Structure 1
Amino acid sequence: MSFSPQSRVWIYQSDRKFTATEETAILNKLATFSSQWKAHGNELLAKAEIRYDYFIILTVDESQAGVTGCSIDSSVRLIKEIEQEYHVDLFNRFNIAYKLGDEVKVQGKEDFETLVNIKQITQDTIVFNNMVQTLADLESKWEVPFKDSWHSTVFSHLL
């Protein structure tokens, strides 16, 4: 299944790593949802994935049918169910993800700020921009060096 680079994406970042068992169960739930996801009765060309054991990514190619408020609401309900079922926080925008070597780490804003302050997060540390909105941006602007991210603007006073 081929998705347009302009496909819309939504990224939900967990506050902790999913276990392999959780990931399998969540992926099954997401696959069932995305195969039946509709907007005003039109089937959406959608897919769902988990990357790095932390990020749930939903993608919809709107060239077939556009996403509506109701269809977005149904996806948010699903994500909230996953949150409750697995005791994770998927909506906290103050949790910041970054890479330490090949490993993804997630910190609260204050702890992240401390890491920047003590130079454990550098200009070249890879951070995740979960605000990307298209598949093309997911591929090119999701994982970026700290210096090229919105994070550097927010935390610039520490550099």
Structure 2
Amino acid sequence: MTVSDLNLKYLQAYPEHLQNQVRKLITEQRIDAYLEQRYGQRHDIQSDKALYRYVTELKQKNLRNTPQIDKVLFDNRLDLTHRALGLHTAVSRVQGGKLKAKKEIRVASLFKAAPPEFLEMIVVHELAHLKEHDHNKAFYKLCEYMLPHYHQLEFDLRIYLTAREL
């Protein structure tokens, strides 16, 4: 198998020269060392309660004027087959004669074992959806505001996901 034969489904939107660099890391069996060097730690957020505190602290720091988040949890059903690592929802319920929307953020359970930088990137992504619903320029600008190296982390997260599949 040559370097160019490796299919990198998480990196398909990136330029060919970046994909080739990742393919080289894979064929030289250095992808784990690359990730370990850059992201060697694990976080200690293992419960839904701790995740809720973490998310609300990030929200308070960056997005004070957005609606309160009612529920935050790690979700075992979110995974790569559904192409969702995080999810933000507004669940509408009738209370009395009014319709109330409860804001929820769900994070894929695989992030319990991920480096803290990747958990932060996913949380920032979902928080940004509180203000910007679409993945447009304003959305990514907000992500960069909350997390200055957002795009690098997103790229490295895709490398991490690729390494997990190998």
Both structures adopt the same fold (TM-score exceeding 0.5): no
What's the TM-score once normalised by structure 1's chain length?
0.22
What's the TM-score once normalised by structure 2's chain length?
0.21
Q: Which has the bigger relative contact order, CA under 8 A and spacing at least 6?
A: 1
**1 or 2, which has the higher strand percentage?**
1
Q: Larger radius of gyration, structure 1 or 2?
A: 2
**1 or 2, which has the higher helix percentage?**
2
